[in-house]
Amino acid sequence: MYESGAGDALYERLSAYAASGMIPMHVPGHKRNSGMLGAELPYDIDVTELPGFDNLHDMRGVLLDTADLAAALYGCGRAFPLVNGSTCGLLAAVRAFTSRGDTVIMARNCHMSVYSAVELCGLKPVYITPETDGVSGITCSVSPESVAGAVADNPGCALIIITSPTYEGVVSDVAAIAEAARGRSIPLLVDEAHGAHLGFSDYFPAQAMREGADAAVVSLHKTLPALTQCALALVRDPLAGYDAMRRELSVFQTSSPSYVLLASIDRCLRLLAARGRRLFDAFEDRLRRFDARVGELGALRAIRRGNMAAAHPGFYDLDPGKIVISARGAGLTGPELAGLLRAEYRIETEMAAADYIVAVATVCDGEGYLDALADALLSIDSACPRAAQAPPAPCFRCGAGGGESGGGAAALGYAAGAVAAESVWAYPPGRPIIVAGEVITEDAVREIRRLADAGVTLRAARGEN
């Protein structure tokens, strides 16, 4: 297991970790695979807007070539390279499609950046709350019926916002949701941050833009070979959406963009164009082999695409690149399972929730990464007594709307029924348990206690745990 020295400078600490041999089953998607991607970055190409290198906020040359390639790969009218991550793309997209005071329909499991955009733009949110999967406790897909109902109740809304795929890889029926939105001429924005790799193989769900979304934001760095903060904003209509998105990106994206990151975006896209089919064919083979092996787990449980229809009817589809392992049947918490993998098997996973872990597989995984993860899970599983039946998954329903935020601090035990003065969330995944201005429910209090007891780190707007 990697252990840092207390006095290490950041660069030295990062270098030591890179040499430690830890297996990265987490983002960024490049997995530090310099053998595939090269090791030329970054200092000698870290420049500013010199002649011949274009301007990100007024693309006319080499950066426009990058943007055009992105648009072709993702099936949209226009694409914008992002060097401030998906967060700046979501902020810009929400503002581009709305005016102050507008009503927006949004899934309650949207990322905190969407809530920030709603607050900054002075919007009125109407929440769609997806169901909770009774087996895993994971939030289900957003149903087209819930969107159609919300649209019927709010015909003058300006925008619909959903997350697909979620942090756990749950995909919604974007095509049907887009159809419901199109019937009322309401644009659909999809936070597709965790789905930049979708659509490059028939083994994976389709891309949101090809399913009818009007705009989407993807994080290249999460699941593809790109440096952290590399992302794309995608717009369907090159006329109606392009100018507004470009204007808002000039507000939310740095005026001094990193050419190191822009070069990483360009290299990632060119790699997909030149070698994507071969890379994803090999990736599919590794995932199929892994899926067959974890199907043998007993106390631990893999949330698998193969048994989705019967075991998880609330999931429209699953991203096979997100590996979700439930620990409830083994009597473990998510942090405990992640700790075992780290300490005993030198495997670092992406996220530990109260009852499960999430590992991220990408095209850049080393040949033995998924085999090592399967070996470790089967080994841990064999040492765990198998419960006759796993305890039922907790069903968390978020807080109720209404009220004005404000007031002072209150002990958690007395918080139910009060109006939240600030938002509370676990990060990752960055979905709020409580949103400022909501009435705090008993469910929310129980969920916060459950997460804290399991060892999950909670965050609030003031930075307090």
Per-residue pLDDT of the chain (465 residues; tens, 9 = 90+): 556 555 556 567 767 777 888 889 887 888 888 777 777 656 667 888 888 889 999 999 999 999 999 999 999 999 999 999 999 999 999 999 999 999 999 999 999 999 999 999 999 999 999 999 988 899 999 999 999 999 999 989 999 999 999 999 999 999 999 999 998 999 999 999 999 999 999 999 999 999 999 999 999 999 999 999 999 999 998 666 789 999 999 999 999 999 889 989 999 999 999 999 999 999 999 999 999 999 999 999 999 887 787 889 999 999 999 999 999 999 999 999 999 999 999 999 999 999 999 999 999 999 899 999 999 999 999 998 866 556 666 666 555 555 555 555 566 766 888 888 888 888 778 888 888 888 888 888 888 888 888 888 888 866 544
Same domain, 249 and 299: no
Q: What gap in Å lies between CA 1 and CA 261, rounded to an integer?
A: 30
| Residue 11 pLDDT | 63
**Quick one: tokens of 134?**
């009774």
Query: What strand order describes the sheet that includes 322-326?
Result: 301-302, 322-326, 356-360, 351-352
pLDDT value of position 217? 98
Examine residue 20 and state whether it is found in any structural domain, yes or no.
no
Residue 61: which CATH number? 3.40.640.10
Secondary structure percentages of the chain, helix, strand, coil, to 5: 40, 15, 45
Query: Phi first, then psi: what are they for 312, rounded to 5°?
Result: -135, 70
Q: How many domains, the chain?
A: 3
* CB within 8 Å of 392: residues ≥ 6 apart: 134
**Same domain (yes/no): 99, 142:** yes
Range of the domain at 447: 412-460
Amino acid at 41: L
| Within-domain flag for 394 | no
DSSP string, 152-201: HH-TT--EEEEESS-TT-EE--HHHHHHHHHTTT--EEEE-GGGTTTTSS
**Residues 229 and 366 placed together within one structural domain of the fold:** no
Let me know if residue 14 belongs to a domain: no
Give the tokens for residue 381. Answer: 């599983």
Asked if residues 56 and 257 have their Cβ atoms less than 8 Å apart, the reply is yes
Decide which of 268, 301, 336 is a domain's last residue.
Answer: 268
- Pairing mode, strands 159-163 and 188-191: parallel
Do 293 and 347 have their domain in common? yes
Secondary element (H or E) of residue 74: helix 62-74
| Residue for token pair 């095209």 | 363
Distance between CA 419 and CA 417 in Å, rounded? 7
